[in-house]
Each structure stands twice: as structure tokens, then as C-alpha cells.
């Protein structure tokens, strides 16, 4: 695997990447613009401590590609991008705010080459700080208390679980669902599922957090080390990516994977490994488009919650069409989804 920064960029199929070393905080800032074919590249800002700066770059490059696929699949006029703030240590208070301001000013200088939003490690409050420095940030509807895309993403995940549950088991009732990671999407997803007569299993690196939510919604807690080997009907990865790989796939004991995490597969070939094991893999960028849909609609001035939710619910129909296509052609759902994305992008050029 290439790992110098120049190797990573040379082997990437995107358009441009902006790199800034933020001396004041010791943070590496990466802004990846994967594709502007369908419109302005957009994608969230991930803030995380990485083992090395190149790991942050690798993440942003892959994540931005995922955004291109996601946005092409839902057919909004936006391209794919992403930003990563590879911080040297967890940052709060004035230090965090100052970094976010400098990041905001960088986006302002880029002048709309990319617009950001929430992703793992950033919050509505962070976006409000960035918005004081630049226009190029999606905030949803802060006055209406709708600035977090997480709950919208969760609704799309649930719609997809219903489709998969219907096909595999004739419905979700009585089935077990394991939610891995109860953050911005995992938590609202767990709450939605708790009203759906499923047997709910929760896991999080922060065990106390998992225990608290489990007690509240009536779920069992699974320790993080056991997630990939626990028997369940549907596994929902809702945290970091890369959890489905040649090491974990052989030991999975689920019937389907339907979750919100971006880049769940370490490599595209892992989709075939899952298919060979008879596990239905719902492509991540189809399943997790709810937040992007909500942001895009609100950006266009569509504020009606019922309209937004109806559009998000349609993700389930898209997934159903992809699963049908995959079955017909005897290929993995990821193949079918990728073809769809390529068709949309080809029509645009
Ligand atoms: N980070 C979320 C995602 O990956 C939400 C988001 C969508 C943020 C679009 C910015 C732009 O879908």
C-alpha cells in the first residue's frame, strides 16, 4: 500500500487536494475535492487524531470519493469533497475554536471550491464557528434546531433496514440489529429501532455511553471487541470505516450489513467476499445519504420536514432497485450501485 503523501495523491482519481499545516495547533488540514462534475464538491469535516498525517490524507481522499458516489446516486447537483482536520491531540475550548476559525478562513479563500458540514468529530456548534468566517458551510436550519444531519441519516438507514429486513425475513419485527458506534447517527438510529420491535444490541468504544443508552432504550450491550463475531440478523456499522475486511469478514455472524459509516469496506473486493458468504451488503453511500439529502434540500430552501423525510425514505426504494439489479446480474450490490453512479457521472460529462 502506498503511504507517502505524494504516492497517495498520485494514485487517487480526484481533482485537487489542498494541504495546510496549521502551525499554531500542530494540525494537518486536508481538503479533498474529488469531483466537481455534478456541481460544487461538498462533504463533511472530520476531526480526528490519526497515527500519522498521511493516514489523515488517505482518509480524506477515500472519503471524498465516497461523497461523489453518494451525491451522484441521489442526483443532486453537488460534487464530492471532504475535509480532515488531523489534530495532534483532542482539542476543546479556545484552541479548538481558533483552529476552526482558521479552517473557515481557508474555505473562504478557496471561494466555493468546496463547502463543508458535520462529520465524525465535529458538531453543530463547530459549524456555527466556521460559519462566522465563511459562507461555504452547510448548517441546515440552526434556528429550527435542525443543524445536525445525523438524525436524517439515521432515518435513511432505517428505511434501508426495512427493505433488507422485508426481503430476508419478511420484516424487521423480532429480528436482532447490532448498532456499532452510537454517535451522531448511531444514537438516533438506536432510538428509532427501539420503537420497531427489534432485538437491539449496542456497542461503543465508550462502554459507559453504550450502557447508558442501552438502559434507556432497552438494549443489550456488546463489548467493542466482540462486534464482528456476535450473532445478529443485521449489523449496522455506524462509526469509523474499514471494519469490513479480509480479517473480519470470515468471522461475521450476521445476515446483512446495513449501516451509516462511510467506507465500511477496506477495499471494493470486500463486497465480493461478503456476497460469497451470503451476507447482503447494502452499499454505505446509498444507505447513509439521508444527511446529504437533508442538507441539500434545506440549502435549496425546502424546509418542510415532511418533504425532507419523504425524500429520505426514497433511499429505501433506491436500495431495493440496486438489490434487484444485483440479483438479476448475479453480482454484488456494490457493483450494481457503482454502475448506477458511473452512468450518472457519464451523462454529466
Ligand atoms: N458527513 C455527512 C455525510 O457524509 C453529512 C454531510 C453531507 C456533510 C454533505 C456535508 C455535506 O454524508
pLDDT tens sequence across 21-38 = 999 999 999 999 999 999
Tell me: pLDDT of 308 over 80: yes
Spatial separation of the C-alpha atoms in residues 46 and 287, rounded to whole Å = 19
Q: Ligand 1 centroid to 275 CA: how many Å?
A: 27
Residue 349 confidence (pLDDT)? 73
In 135-195 the beta strands, taken as DSSP E runs, fall at 176-180
Q: How many CB atoms lie within 10 A of CB 275?
A: 18
pLDDT classification of 3: cutoffs 50, 70, 90? confident
What is the distance, to the nearest Å, from the Cα of residue 217 to the centroid of all Cα atoms in its chain?
Answer: 24
With a 6 Å cutoff on the Cβ, whether 117 touches ligand 1 is yes
Please enumerate in sequence order all residues whose Cβ is within 8 A of that of 164, keeping only pairs 6 or more positions apart, or say none: 234, 256, 258, 280, 282, 319, 323
With a 6 Å cutoff on the Cβ, whether 295 touches ligand 1 is yes
Instruction: Point out the ligand 1 atom lying closest to the alpha carbon of residue 71.
Output: 9
Tell me: pLDDT of 195 over 90: yes
Query: Which residue's CA is minimally distant from atom 7 of ligand 1?
Result: 292
Q: Which SS3 state, helix, strand or coil, does residue 115 take? A: strand
Mean pLDDT of 128-142: 96
Residue 2 confidence (pLDDT)? 53
With a 6 Å cutoff on the Cβ, whether 44 touches ligand 1 is yes
Rg for the chain (alpha carbons), in Å? Answer: 19
The residues facing 20 across adjacent strands are 29
Query: Which residue's CA is minimally distant from atom 12 of ligand 1?
Result: 292
The stretches of 50-149 forming alpha helices (DSSP H) are 53-74, 93-110, 124-131
pLDDT tens, position by position, 73-125 = 998 899 999 999 999 999 999 999 999 999 999 999 999 999 999 999 999 99
Mean pLDDT of 192-217: 97
Give the DSSP H or E segment for 42.
Answer: strand 41-42
- Model confidence, pTM: 0.95
Residue 321 burial by Cβ neighbours in a 10 Å radius (0-12, 13-18, 19+):
middle
Residue 160 confidence (pLDDT)? 98
Look up residue 235 and give its DSSP letter.
E
Residues designated as active site: 82
Residue 89 confidence (pLDDT)? 98
Spatial separation of the C-alpha atoms in residues 181 and 172, rounded to whole Å = 20
Torsion of CA 287, 289, 291, 295, to 10 degrees: -170
Tell me: pLDDT of 185 over 70: yes
Q: Are 254 and 276 in contact (CB under 8 A)?
A: no
With a 6 Å cutoff on the Cβ, whether 201 touches ligand 1 is no
The full length of the chain comes to: 349
Please report where in the chains the cell 463486497 appears, as a residue.
271
Mean pLDDT of 337-348: 94
Please enumerate in sequence order all residues whose Cβ is within 8 A of that of 166, keeping only pairs 6 or more positions apart, or say none: 172
Spatial separation of the C-alpha atoms in residues 41 and 211, rounded to whole Å = 38
pLDDT classification of 240: cutoffs 50, 70, 90? confident
252: left (phi over 0), alpha (psi -120 to 50) or beta: beta
Spatial separation of the C-alpha atoms in residues 259 and 180, rounded to whole Å = 9
Tell me how many degrees the CA angle 96-134-238 measures, rounded to the nearest 5.
55
Q: Ligand 1 centroid to 149 CA: how many Å?
A: 7
Which residue among 60, 62, 67, 72 has the greatest number of ligand 1 atoms within 8 angstroms of its CB, and so is best to mutate? 67
Give the mean pLDDT of the chain: 96
Q: Ligand 1 centroid to 118 CA: how many Å?
A: 6
Proportion of the chain above pLDDT 70, given as a percent: 99
Spatial separation of the C-alpha atoms in residues 34 and 189, rounded to whole Å = 29
Q: Ligand 1 centroid to 292 CA: how many Å?
A: 5
Amino acid at each position: 500500500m502506498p503511504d507517502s503523501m505524494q504516492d497517495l495523491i498520485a494514485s487517487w482519481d480526484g481533482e485537487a487536494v489542498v494541504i495546510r499545516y496549521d502551525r499554531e495547533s500542530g494540525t494537518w488540514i486536508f481538503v479533498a475535492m474529488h469531483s466537481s462534475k455534478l456541481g460544487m464538491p461538498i462533504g463533511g469535516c472530520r476531526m480526528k487524531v490519526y497515527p500519522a498525517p498521511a493516514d489523515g490524507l488517505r482518509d480524506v481522499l477515500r472519503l471524498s470519493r465516497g461523497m461523489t458516489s453518494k451525491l451522484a446516486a441521489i442526483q443532486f447537483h453537488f460534487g464530492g469533497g471532504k475535509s480532515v482536520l488531523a489534530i495532534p491531540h483532542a482539542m476543546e475550548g479556545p484552541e479548538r475554536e481558533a483552529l476552526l476559525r482558521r479552517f473557515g478562513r481557508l474555505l473562504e479563500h478557496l471561494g466555493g471550491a468546496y463547502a463543508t458540514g458535520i462529520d465524525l468529530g465535529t458538531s453543530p456548534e463547530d459549524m456555527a464557528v466556521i460559519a462566522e468566517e465563511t459562507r461555504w458551510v452547510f448548517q441546515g436550519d440552526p434556528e429550527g434546531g435542525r443543524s445536525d444531519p445525523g438524525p436524517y441519516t439515521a432515518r435513511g438507514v432505517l428505511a434501508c433496514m426495512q427493505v433488507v429486513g422485508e426481503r430476508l425475513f419478511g420484516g424487521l419485527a423480532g429480528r436482532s440489529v447490532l448498532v456499532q458506534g452510537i454517535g451522531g447517527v448511531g444514537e438516533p438510529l438506536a432510538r428509532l429501532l427501539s420503537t420497531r420491535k427489534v432485538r437491539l444490541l449496542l456497542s461503543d468504544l465508550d462502554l459507559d455511553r453504550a450502557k447508558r443508552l442501552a438502559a434507556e432504550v432497552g438494549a443489550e450491550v456488546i463489548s467493542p471487541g466482540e462486534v464482528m463475531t456476535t450473532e445478529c440478523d443485521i449489523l449496522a456499522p455506524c462509526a469509523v470505516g474499514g471494519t469490513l475486511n479480509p480479517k473480519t469478514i470470515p468471522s461475521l455472524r450476521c445476515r446483512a450489513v446495513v449501516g451509516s459509516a462511510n467506507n465500511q469496506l477496506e477495499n471494493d473486493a470486500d463486497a465480493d467476499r461478503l456476497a460469497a458468504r451470503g451476507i447482503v451488503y447494502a452499499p454505505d453511500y446509498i444507505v447513509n445519504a439521508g444527511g446529504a439529502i437533508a442538507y441539500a434540500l434545506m440549502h435549496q430552501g425546502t424546509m418542510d420536514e415532511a418533504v425532507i423525510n419523504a425524500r429520505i425514505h426514497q433511499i429505501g426504494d433506491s436500495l431495493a432497485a440496486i438489490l434487484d439489479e444485483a440479483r438479476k446480474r448475479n453480482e454484488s450490490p456494490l457493483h450494481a450501485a457503482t454502475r448506477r453512479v458511473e452512468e450518472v457521472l457519464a451523462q454529466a460529462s
